[in-house]
Chain A
Amino acid sequence: MSEVVARLRTGYGAGLRHALLMILCLAVAGWVALRLADEATAGPMLLWFVGAVVSHDLILFPGYATVDRALRRAARGGGREVGPARSSLLNHVRIPALAAGILFLVFLPGILGLSEDTYRAATGQDRFPYVARWLAISGGLFLISATVWVIRLARWRQRSGQPVASGPG
């Protein structure tokens, strides 16, 4: 038995438990694929499944990582603030931006008004796109963040003995 396991390790690259789990996983996925192969819309389903991964890994992630890198670079250069104030300013932009971004992604159909007819049939109501609400919520988050930052900046300056009034505020 131990020789079989050893041979599995050299040949396959992992132990028996790993192999069994992979068989289970691929068997169920394979069964689902066969079950769905007859559906007229099997193609679009597969496309959306793979498309979801590609959209995240090759569009969404590189997108927000690039924006964040630009923000970090901007925070490093320029400005007179040092130490905690500099890093803090970065986060006071980053956090509301992230919140606005996630709200946009999650509530995208409502924000862009992609579903008016289905919506009317389902609710008996007309609707207007929620883009104004999304902008208002996002604006509110940026405002709160900016207010908190100004208060923190004032405290840091008081602590370090600089006059508060000279800040860009």
Chain B
Amino acid sequence: MPARTPRRSGPEDPGQPDDVRRPGPAGSRGVAFPARLWRALEQHPAPGARAVQRAWRSPLRGPWLTSVFGVVLLVSLPVVIITGLLDYAAYGPQFGQAFPHDVGWLRLPPFDWPTRPSWLFRLTQGLHVGLGIVLIPVVLAKLWSVVPKLFDWPPARSVAQVLERLSLLLLVGGILFQIVTGLLNIQYSYLFGFDFYTAHYFGAWVFTVALVSHVALKLPRMVTALRSRPARDVLHTSRAATRPEPADPDGLVPALPEQATLSRRGAVALVGGGSLLLAVLTVGQTLDGPLRRAALLLPRGRNPGTGPNGFQINRSAAAAGIRPADTGPDWQLTLTGAGSTVQLDRVALLAMGQHTARLPIACVEGWSTLQTWTGVRLRDLAVLAGVTDPASAHVQSLESAGLFRQATLQSNQVLDPDSLLALRVNGVDLSVDHGYPARVIVPALPGVHCTKWVARIEFRSRGDE
């Protein structure tokens, strides 16, 4: 392969696997152990391997473009990863209600999820899903820019390169797996047939550790490549003046490039435009009012009906198996705590001190909506049950099946002055789909833990634990 062999070597970098195409320290071509294997591999290319190596044409491929996409992902992917881990923490893993349960060391240190700011979960989950979608064009562009490496021959020249290829399989498989499972989940399409939480959580860790390794190995190359071509120059280079980068040690620059059909600034703008398009079509699911309709292709892009109860539902009463008789005048709320049991009907609850709070309800699927809720403070109900210093509260729904028919609230979530057993929303009674006769609403709590059709609340004092 004469066109590729005489590559200029990059700056010496101790993190990179030695490239045997480069002269070794002694001036000779070094081959790692077992040398015979790597030589044989090099001398016996797979059918078509050489042809594929010569087939790359884009003059834009090269370390600079790869590094631009790389630096965007380097800055933004940690946000997606951290918000994802925070969402796990928001589910209350200390009560065994975050999925998957058994995660060993692969989690954030335990802490009580705060109730302030009330839009915290709306923000973290909105960012996780929204940014995850917006980054898809960047991920695909990054993969496009490095795809010649996949077809490189020989595939490895040392054990180090074999392992690195394996870690890249985890990296690429990880990001694609996360994107695919995430996209299917927010669109209610469970084609994959396995538990989404388990797959997405552990997939994230495989991806994260592969990303950390990749960044640790490639960061110096990224910095060098970005410095090689000032952004100002790229901005002022037209398509006609666009030339390939000098040959690089990674072999990203094609041996036989065609004339550019797109400038570098054009390629970056194209990918950015793709992200912008996805952003415009996604952000609507976190907005209220007419702008919600901008999420034209997402399930949460329309409001279910009009009026005070015309906002998003996560689980309809019919789907939860709630019958009209369950929520009729005979409905009673049972409060337990400190050995006593109190029963209240809806009239009695309405006769208690009412509090109104404007709080978001935000779903793990990334959508959210801000509504005005009215009801009884949870801490007042705790006092009624004889618990003045609750350590936690266990809320049960009338729903008899379903993953989220119950939830445990932390002490701060019971005591927050805006934490309510809501009876009304936007000035009217809750609709049955929104949890009539009564539902929980707590600042910054994931929507699925704001239990609907509440039947029972058990307040546990610190001594009980």
Contact = CB atoms under 8 A, between A and B. Distances in A.
Interface in A97-133: 98-99, 102-103, 105-111, 114-115, 118-125, 127, 130, 133
A29 interface: yes
- Interface residues of A: mostly helix, strand, loop or mixed? helix
A26 B299 contact: no
Contacts, number: 226
B266 interface: yes
A75 B259 CA distance: 13
B213 A91 contact: no
A14 interface: yes
A106 B139 CA distance: 13
A70 interface: no
Contact of B217 (A10, A11, A21, A44): A21
Contact of B270 (A13, A57, A95, A115): A95
Interface string A66-92: 000000100100000000100100110
Given A18-B15, A22-B164, A103-B277, A53 B315 contact: no
B313 A123 contact: yes
Given A22-B163, A36-B202, A102-B278, A14 B172 contact: no
Interface residues of B, number: 87
**Which of A9, A11, A29, A31 has the most chain B CB within a 10 Å cutoff?**
A29
Interface string B149-178: 010000001111101101101101110110
Interface in B120-162: 133, 136-137, 140, 143-144, 147, 150, 157-161
A3 interface: no
A49 B192 CA distance: 11
Nearest to A60: B140
B160 A12 contact: yes
B117 interface: no
Interface stretch (B180-188, B249-257, B339-347, B352-360): B180-188
A124 B163 CA distance: 49
14 contacts: A12-B159, A21-B216, A22-B166, A24-B209, A39-B194, A52-B176, A53-B172, A87-B239, A103-B277, A103-B278, A106-B136, A109-B184, A114-B191, A115-B187
A156 interface: no
A165 interface: no
A32 interface: yes
Interface in B217-273: 217, 239-240, 258, 261-262, 266, 270, 273
Interface of A: 9-15, 17-19, 21-22, 24-26, 28-29, 31-32, 35-36, 39, 41, 44-45, 48-50, 52-53, 55-57, 61, 72, 75, 84, 87, 90-91, 95, 98-99, 102-103, 105-111, 114-115, 118-125, 127, 130, 133-134, 137
Nearest to A69: B57
Nearest to B300: A123
Given A12-B160, A32-B206, A118-B188, A111 B18 contact: no
A2 to B, nearest CB: 12
B315 A13 contact: no
B274 A102 contact: yes
Nearest to A13: B158
